[in-house]
Amino acid sequence: GCKSFTAQVIVMNHPKKIQPGYTPVIDCHTAHIACQFQLFLQKLDKRTLKPEMENPPDAGRGDCIIVKMVPQKPLCCETFNDYAPLGRFAVRDMKRTVAVGIIQEIDKEEFKPPKGGK
């Protein structure tokens, strides 16, 4: 499974600024899972994708950010470079898509079956 992942996210249609701790639902292939934006690592220039700011405090409409995200339930995903269909996702909130992203790096953990299960 995926313990956390680093993703490049473009905020498209969110009425306010988003900040670390924001926990919307992401749609990654067929999964619909709440996922916390734990840490904003960088804000990128929209055209060149070069870093503009380290550890930005928030992100608004049109911003491109690198984020550490933590799924709240088990999530099966891949990096965009390894397998694109499992490496892209939509961020859903208020019944609409507010951002889109691609997974750059995954912090995986070994799957442990639940205790007492078969």
Q: Residue 115's pLDDT is what? A: 76
SS3 14: coil
What tens digit of pLDDT does each residue of 39-56 get?
999 999 999 999 999 999
Q: Are 67 and 41 in contact (CB under 8 A)?
A: yes
Q: Cα 11 vs. chain centroid, distance in angstroms?
A: 11
Q: Residue 101's pLDDT is what? A: 98
Strand 25-28 and strand 2-11: the pairing is: unpaired
Domains present along the chain, CATH in parentheses: 2-108 (2.40.30.10)
Prediction pTM value: 0.89
**pLDDT surpasses 80 at 113:** no
For the chain, give the number of residues. 118
